[in-house]
Amino acid sequence: MPSDYIRRKLKELLDSDDLVSMYIEKYGELVSTANVNQLKEHIKKLKNNANKEAEEQKDGDDPIFETNMRCPACYRKDVIHYSLRAKSQVIKETIFLVPQYSGVSGYFAVDFNLLQTTVCPECMFASPDPRDWTRINSISGAETPSQLLARGKFMQELRNTELDRKNIFPEAKADVNYFARPRSYSRAIEATKLSILRAELEMQYLVPAVNYKIAWYNLKIADIEKKQGKDNKETLKVAEKFFSTAVEKSDCPTVNSEMESIYEVVALNMYLGDRDKAASFIKIAKDAVREKESKVKENPTSETKKDLTDADKWEKRIGTLWENRDDESFWKNNL
């Protein structure tokens, strides 16, 4: 426990109890002017980064095109949905599988993570899944109804909670272009939080795969926080909790998404420092592969074989995480 003298001395230099605690955790009890200045510079950099917003480098062709969707909640029909042109970006994944984009074939780079969530400017309904929207054919005008319309009670509650959504981001309800492109880091996070609100409501009505969706929404927010220079560990912890729940409650729509969720739990816990939990989910992955092997032996159909192929692929990726558990460069270079 640091002495009161050390704390008082650091408080004089840093003028913040939080910074004093951060200093002691980082440098110990040795009071050093160089370390104090280094910490101050680090905090200044974090604050500057937190205020930065995404910028699109428009040197080349635009990889994004717009289509209009109809909102299933309020029926507004000119909701802008952004799509990424095929083969316009080289896509690499972080260790948590979040895609990162760079331009190719004459297209400029765009962080599609910021634009993927479509938001209705009328009622603040939000979702990154085009199937949640009523899609309008640009040539014939024919409409493909939202998959959510089949859930009448959920849709009624979604309409009843419109004011709640609007009150969370009051500036958005007065500006139809609030979530339009270019979309800043902060507004991309707000759009994703609106998706989380929708998913939380879905959970009340037992819509499948909600834990999986909320986990992914939080991963996207954590990725944006990282780009802002913020500490994103708390958001990663939330993502881990929902991926764990998705596995434990079998709340994954496919074998592929189930094994992907196990991968995420292992990756997140290894990064966050809980190797025991990571190891327990590695065992779950191995058991899942053995189960799929048994099903192929009992009933060798194309479906059971595909399930085994998917499970085996993910088990190998999970094994790579464990093999590199002590390799700092592996984790640092893939975040």
- What pLDDT score was predicted for residue 51? 46
DSSP tag of 109: P
Phi, psi of 92, rounded to the nearest 5 degrees = -120, 150
Residue ranges per structural domain of the chain? 4-50, 55-183, 208-335
pTM of the model: 0.83
Q: For 232-291, write each residue's pLDDT tens digit.
A: 999 999 999 999 999 999 999 899 999 999 999 999 999 999 999 999 999 999 999 999
Cα 226 to Cα 231: distance, rounded to the nearest angstrom: 7
pLDDT higher for 330 or 34? 330
Strand partners, 81: 67
CA distance between the termini of the chain: 33
If we measure between CA atoms, which residue out of 140, 86, 117 comes closest to residue 224?
A: 117
Q: Kindly report the length of the chain.
A: 335
Q: For 40-53, write each residue's pLDDT tens digit.
A: 776 665 545 444 55
Cα 330 to Cα 326: distance, rounded to the nearest angstrom: 9
Residues 6+ apart with CB under 8 A from 313: 259
If we measure between CA atoms, which residue out of 48, 64, 24 comes closest to residue 181?
A: 64
